[in-house]
Chains A and B, each alone.
Chain A
Amino acid sequence: MKSLRLLTTSLAIATAMSTAAFAQTELTMWYHGAGSTVERDLINTIISDFNGSQSDWTVTLQEFPQAAYNDSVVAAAVAGNLPDIIDVDGPVMPNWAWAGYMQPLQLSEGALDGFLPGAIGKYNGEVYSVGLWDAAIAMYARRSTLEKFDIRIPTLDEPWTREEFDEILATLKESGEFEYPLNLGMADQGEWYPYAFGPFLWSFGGDMVDRSSYQTAEGALNGDAAIEFGEWWQSLFTNEYAPGTSQDMADHETGFIDGDYALQWNGNWVAVNTLNALGDDVLFLPAPDFGTGPKIGGASWQFGVSATSEHPEGASAFIEFALQPEYLAAFSDGIGLIPATAEAAAMTENYKEGGPLEVFYGLSEAQATLRPVTPGYVFQALEFRKALSDIANGADVVDALDAATDAINDDIARNNNYATAQ
């Protein structure tokens, strides 16, 4: 009898344990980092830790190459087979939320305390996505070059003014020592244009759309401030201060290091390579102030939950799990981007106090400005890029900005003012 009871108890325990194992609900996750072995290892570590940390959920990963990711998500949304967890480029999030691809996160109170503003994806007052990192842009320069031409080293509190910056470009041009004083990376015709050059427009006082309503670009993209920006932008190319749209990608990648360009407007993802090549001589400087304060773009890739997920609480639980400082730090050490919190930054090699890239954390914290938080941004970015490219190639500034403004207004009207379905 005793052995029978023991057998029954054992069976009951075994059944309960196996039921617990089987009770783990599968959550599917898509990530844009296919091809990056570092990111694959990092994300798999988080998934493995999460799956082992609790018995309710098990996350499985499907990776996509970044260049193909957005199209894949849109196609999956059309086909109705989005995964539970997706990642999304920050400025694209409002469009996906508006289109009904995403739902708000279900995070614990205080889960995002201390996060850089650029790492939090808010739309219509709700948090739809959160990033483990942010990216930042800086003006790359060589200390030796600035000292040679008696150029002041700007600080976060005292960045270069527009007049100062123009004089610096003229001085460097007149020296004849460089092919061009400034490398802007004009050959990259993707999201780089709105991300890197939008902040110049904002600093002049213009914008891609009127952010008070997000219903028109009139006055924002073709007002006096925007036209002033456009004329300044065109002068960079007419004065041959920067290579234009036909710039060779090879020159863009090596020109600053080779000494062909005196200054370079570039992201923190090339900072480590540049440091390795130039050592202590390289400086990462804040954006110039063109009138309304120095600005850089904020928001990089972030995690969110698809609208069709049947287990948003599980998906959010995974995302919250991934927000632990050690994972933020690991991602930063792995791919060089800025950890989303100061606590995590202190745990990294590059962004800790005294670290070689510490300045980028300060830049992100002080200057990062989100691209327009509207579903129409995806279209506005394309028009902005076209207008800047045309102006760089000699188009009339007012005509180019007016054309972009009209196109953006038409798009807003076509989409019923991007009204959110209630």
Chain B
Amino acid sequence: MAAVTSPNQNLKTSLKYLLLILVALVFVFPIVFMVVSSFKPDAQLLRDTSSFNAFLPVGDVSLDNYFAAFERAPVGLFVFNSILVTAITVIGSLFLCSMAAFAFAFLEFRGKSIVLSIIIATLIVPFETIAVPMLMVVNALPWLGSDGITWGWLNTYHVQIVPFLADALTIFLFVQFFRDLPKELIEAARLDGASWFQVYSLVIVPISGPVFATAAILKFLAMYNQYLWPLMVTQSEQYRPVMVGLQYFFQLNTAWGEVMAYLSMITLPVLAFYLFLQRAFITSIASTGIKG
């Protein structure tokens, strides 16, 4: 039987889509403005902000701002540094935090609840309050590298990675997700003789795509947007990430076109990562049949 739709329903649907389009535009417009502005000279960019031309690639459009941005700052180096630090931290964090969460969710040990509570309680401590003590700690720590043991971690990649390999939010996300998984899966695996690590790696990880994707996106954004910590610990340009690099573009007379060009370039990896994981997220839900 063919579906019958009344004019009222059509109107409702149209209004719903119109509303959704408007909401989408609110989120898309800033990105469109950024990308479009990156092709305009400063004078035109500032003039266009008072009209809809701000969102249109009209007027004197060129790649000059991109060339100038590369001249002003080592953009490629900053992007490389950020991607390297972020990638290693995200991968390490997913592994360590999911393992920790697995223990909290499935293993029994004395003080489990208290330890988990303490970890989660650290969520309310702003990073700014511990930044200086943390700086003093990392500055006094040894590191075994190709030059043997060296003291102090400043001006390295690992000083930007190691302190962020484990965090309360990621552990909390994994614990919450693992607790909702069917216990029968774990019991069946244990009955079949699987070790706890095998249960983790062969049973739990494959069906935990959604939480891995969610945790990865959140961690990626947090790491890629890091500013205060790298500012404090990277005195050498060689190790600076993109957000510290952004400050290269703010001078007495700010070149706004170059700022937009730089922002467009550093936003690309974030969008690519998000789109990539968004697909993984949906695929994971479809293949496991587990819904939140």
Interface residues of A (CB under 8 A from B): 30, 34-37, 62-68, 71-72, 75-76, 78-81, 248, 250, 253-254, 267, 269-270, 273, 335
Contact A80 B139 (CB under 8 A): yes
Contacts of B73 in A (CB 8 A): 34-35
Report, nearest first, the 3 A-B pairs whose CB atoms are least far apart.
A35-B248, A65-B247, A75-B232
Asked whether, in the complex, the Cβ of A35 is within 8 Å of the Cβ of B46, the reply is no
CA distance A253 to B49 in the complex (A): 12
- The smallest C-beta distance from B142 to any residue of chain A, in angstroms, reads 15
Q: Which residue of A lies closest to B243 (CB)?
A: A68
Q: Which residue of A lies closest to B140 (CB)?
A: A79
CB atoms of B248 and A250 under 8 A apart: no
CB within 8 Å of A: which residues of B?
A: 43, 46-47, 49-50, 71-73, 132, 135-136, 139, 152, 154, 228, 231-233, 235-237, 244-245, 247-253
- Say whether, besides A254-B46, A254-B47, A270-B253, A66 and B247 are in contact (CB < 8 Å): yes
Q: How far is the CA of A16 from the CA of B94 in the complex (A)?
A: 58
> Chain B's nearest CB lies how many Å from the CB of A358?
20
Known contacts A35-B251, A253-B46, A273-B253; decide if A68 and B231 are in contact (CB<8 Å). Answer: yes
Alpha-carbon distance between A250 and B48 when the two chains are bound, in angstroms: 9
Interface SS of A by simple majority: helix
Q: Which residues of B contact A75 (CB under 8 A)?
A: 132, 135, 231-233
Q: Which A residues lie within 8 Å of B252 (CB)?
A: 267, 269-270, 335
| Nearest chain A CB to B193 CB, angstrom units | 52
Known: A37-B72, A78-B136. A250 touches B50 (CB 8 A): yes
Contact, CB under 8 Å: B244 / A68 = yes
**Distance in Å from the Cβ of B82 to the closest Cβ of chain A?**
15
Give chain A nearest CB distance to B129 CB in angstroms.
Answer: 14
| Closest beta carbon of chain B to A141's beta carbon, Å | 20
Closest residue of A by beta carbon distance from B232: A75
B46 contacts which of A63, A66, A250 (Cβ < 8 Å)? Answer: A250
Closest residue of B by beta carbon distance from A83 = B235
Cβ 8 A contact of B154, one of A63, A65, A81? A81
Q: Report the minimum CB–CB distance from B79 to chain A (whole Å).
A: 16
B252 to chain A, nearest CB (A): 4
Give A257 Cβ to nearest chain B Cβ, in Å.
9
Q: How far is the CA of A80 from the CA of B138 in the complex (A)?
A: 12
Contact A78 B132 (CB under 8 A): yes
Residues of A within 8 A of B237 (CB): 34, 62-63
* Separation of A254 and B249 alpha carbons in the complex (Å): 19
Q: Given the complex of chains A and B, what is the CA–CA distance between A62 and B231 in angstroms?
A: 14
Task: Take A37-B71, A248-B49, A250-B49 as given contacts and tell me if A66 and B232 are in contact as well, using a CB distance cutoff of 8 Å.
Answer: no
